[in-house]
Amino acid sequence: MSARATSIGGHGSSSSSNLRGRRRASLIWVAVTVAVVIALLYWEQIALLYVLATLGVTVLLVVVALADLDGSRRPATEPRVADDSAAIGSSIASAISPTIPDPNVSSSTARAARARRPRR
C-alpha cells in the first residue's frame, strides 16, 4: 500500500511517522551524549572530554560548511533582487519602494510644511 493510500485511508501518514521516528532518534542521540558526558565527568576524564568536544565542534563546522543553505543553486539567468542597503544608509531614494517615507523627515515636519502652504 502506498503512503498516499495510507494517508487517505485515515491511518496516519508516512511523513508524520517518519517525523516521529527522526525525533525519537534525535532524542536517543541526545540522551546517549548526555550520559557519555556525565560518565566522563564522573570518572574525571576531562582530557578525553576535551578531545571529544573539539572533534564535535569540528564536525559541526564541516557539516555547516557543506550544507546547501540556499536550498538549490539559482540559475545565472534568474534576475537578482535589487538591493537597496546602500540607498537606505546614505539617504538616497529607494529604487524598490518609493512609498517608504524619508527617515530624515518626521511626519510632524511634513504636516507643518503642508500647513504653511498658501491656499488658493
Where exactly are the structural domains of the chain? 3-65
Read off the pLDDT band of 5 (50, 70, 90).
very low
Q: State pLDDT tens for residues 67-97.
A: 877 776 666 666 666 666 666 666 666 555 5
What whole-number distance in Å separates Cα of residue 70 and Cα of residue 112? Answer: 47
Q: State pLDDT tens for residues 44-73.
A: 999 999 999 999 999 999 999 998 777 766
Residue whose C-alpha cell is 543553486:
73
Q: CB 108: neighbour CB atoms within 10 A?
A: 8
